[in-house]
Amino acid sequence: MDKILVLDFGSQYSHLICRRIREFSVYAELVPFDIGSDEIKRHDPRGIVLSGGPSSVYDSAAPRPDGGVFDSGLPLLGICYGHQLIVDRFGGRVKRANKEYGSSALSIDDDADLLSGVGGSVRAWMSHGDEAEEIPDGFKVIGHTDSSKAAAIAMRDRPVYGIQFHPEVAHTERGSEILENFVVKICKARQDWTMEGFIESAVEKISKIDGGVLCGVSGGIDSTVAALLIHRAVGDRLKCVFVDNGLLRHGERGEIEAMFRDNFGVDFSTVDAADEFLGRLGGVTDPEKKRKVVGEEFVRVFSEFAKKNGPFAWLAQGTLYPDVIESGVSKGPASVIKSHHNVGGLPDWLNLDVLEPLRELYKDEVRRIAGLLGVPERLLKRHPFPGPGLAVRIMGEVTREKLQIARTAGQIVEDEIAKAGLYDKVWQAYAAVGDDRAVGVVGDERRYGNVVIVRAVDSIDAMTADWTRLPHELLERISNRITNEIEDVTWVTYAISSKPPSTIEPQ
């Protein structure tokens, strides 16, 4: 598989460069900026992109790549700070300039290769404080803006390019085409990064491992896809375990069992640990404490399962590429199989190596693989659900009564929103149960009942969220059904605070 390396100099957009390149089916990997020449040789890339970053090249502590990067003869593309590094390295001059943020008109002066097909002028997104004042000998300007006379440059006799703007952000017009020109036309990388190809090579690699594999599945997409890939490779040497902690949504356990066991023929066990989880949650009201109890109980149940059903050599996890990068362990080639010990608080005596088949992938790529593996549409589209389950949707102590209310009311919310054709449009919609009570009149009787909070939010990445303006008639239907169908509920409220300052889950 052909590969492009992206050297990360710390720009908030570095990740996006990889994503954009993968979108036109070339594999791109983000690596630390100081990766050595030997390591680069091991990757055997078709070309290297130097990302942007917050530094200035004339600072003594400025991050610089290994000199071998410039001498490798490989095609190079410097973006923003990477552009300035190229100018500096080849003998040009970078100066501090007026900061330029936002979009500028980029005039194309030479559309021979990097900027071919882009047109005469495009909007390009700038975010820089320095700029190239003098370009190095042997380079030419291929694009400029009003304030940057060397906004795009090219070396005359080698495939080395620098651009001051960010082609990876959506605000840059034709940005993807510029990246594609570099990767496909200049680096001549083959467009062979497909999810079908990924499945084939992951299965081949995993099939070489020895010993049993243990995979905890939650019904979420990441653990499901990890389990299905491993199952293809090792068959019944994979054992999946699903923990029913009593905090699941309506019908969730049955659906997950049916998918794994009946549809996919995976060796699948459910551990019914609801009594233990709910027992340990008794009397606990602090939200953080609840999360901690649930986490500890998972580890306990899991370890017990491993002890009884082992021995296992591997623990499978659905770790994704952004997690790998965030955890700072992305040094070296991301491989399908990475071996290290004891994650997730599991005891040492289990002595498990970790198998992470998705550690090269972004979430949208995992979704595409899920589709190819036949994961039901419903699971692909189901709203996110937190690990500690309904425990974080219940204010105060988690009781069986409140759980039943959260489950039934949550189901009504999902049902009604789906019937209104809005399920796929909202990020998340659910019902939570308050710890207070409110008076109602049922028949001729006053009743002191529970309060249900309905929440629906719109979001792109769960980092921020806005409350969904659901139609009033729909809210009315939801409220009526909840109070009619759940005897102990007297009030239904709708949460109208956004994140921030609220969060999506109430606890």
Instruction: List residues binding ligand XMP (CB under 6 A).
Output: 384, 386-388, 428, 462, 499, 503-505
**CA 21 centroid distance within chain:** 17
- DSSP code of residue 135: P
CB 377 within 8 A of CB 227: no
* Whole-angstrom distance, CA of residue 290 vs CA of residue 343: 21
What is the number of other CB atoms lying within 10 angstroms of the CB of residue 502? 15
Angle between helices 195-206 and 363-372 (to 10 degrees): 80
Catalytic residues: 80, 166, 168
**β-strand pairing of 337-341 with 353-355:** antiparallel
**Nearest to residue 439, comparing CAs of 430, 448, 450?**
448
**Using omega within 30 degrees of 0 as the cis cutoff, is the peptide bond preceding 311 cis?**
yes
CB 83 within 8 A of CB 117: no
The backbone torsions φ and ψ at residue 444, rounded to the nearest 5 degrees and listed phi first, read: -100, 10
CB of 318 to ligand XMP, least distance (A): 11
Residue 429, Cβ density class (10 Å: 0-12 exposed, 13-18 middle, ≥19 buried): buried
Sign of CA dihedral 224, 465, 422, 432: positive
CB nearer ligand XMP, residue 68 or residue 386: 386
CB of 250 to ligand XMP, least distance (A): 17
> DSSP H helical segments within 94-194, as ranges?
175-180
160-163, strands of its sheet edge to edge: 27-32, 3-8, 47-50, 76-79, 160-163, 152-155, 139-144, 93-108, 121-134
SS (H, E, C) 182-233: HHHHHCCCCCCCCHHHHHHHHHHHHCCCCCCEEEECCCCHHHHHHHHHHHHH
CB of 358 to ligand XMP, least distance (A): 15
Half-sphere exposure (Cβ direction) of 198: Cα atoms closer than 13 Å: 27
CB of 387 to ligand XMP, least distance (A): 3
